[in-house]
Structure 1
Amino acid sequence: MDKRYLQANKEARLSLYITIIYLIFWITFAYFWGDTPGILGFPIWFELSCILTPIGFLLICYLVVKWQFSNIPLDNTEAEHSPNK
């Protein structure tokens, strides 16, 4: 199996996991937290779900892309240079 497919599959799975975890955090904070004022004066559910969660997941996405994703060629250079062509 081509290594490019393995890497692309790994990156797709990581992206899906991050998306599902983000949605779980957002729904939990938005629907199950109280209406007390937060640090910025907004309701705490809004600060957690709409301000802090996106900032936290931007950092997580940056780290995952930096350490887990890799540049792979999309053209089929191995087939072009193989002696069986």
Structure 2
Amino acid sequence: MNIRYKQASKEAKLSLLLTIIYLIAWIFTAYFGSDEKGLLGLPLWFELSCILVPFVFIILCWIVVRVQFKDIPLEQTK
């Protein structure tokens, strides 16, 4: 198998995994968070699901891209 396809498959699987984990984290914090006020004066479930979880996953995605993704030539090699 061509190395480009292996790398592209690996990156697609990592992206899908991050998406699924993000969705689970968002659902968990949005639906199971409490209604008490958080640090910003908003409901805690909102602060967790709409501020904290996206921030954490932006950093997590940045780390995954820096560590696992590679620049590969897209031209067909002979």
Q: Given the two structures, how large is their TM-score scaled by the length of structure 1?
A: 0.90
Name structure 1 gaps, 5 residues minimum: 80-85
4+ residue runs over 6 A deviation: none
Name structure 2 gaps, 5 residues minimum: none
Q: How many residues align?
A: 78
The percent of aligned pairs where both chains have the same amino acid is 58
**SS state at 1:57 partner:** helix
Cα RMSD (Å) of the superposition? 0.5
If asked which structure has higher relative contact order (CA below 8 Å, sep 6+), I would say: 2
1:33 corresponding residue in structure 2: 33
Q: Given the two structures, how large is their TM-score scaled by the length of structure 2?
A: 0.97
The code of the aligned residue for 2:18 comes to I
Pairs within 5 Å for 1:37-48 = 37-48=37-48
2:60 corresponding residue in structure 1: 60
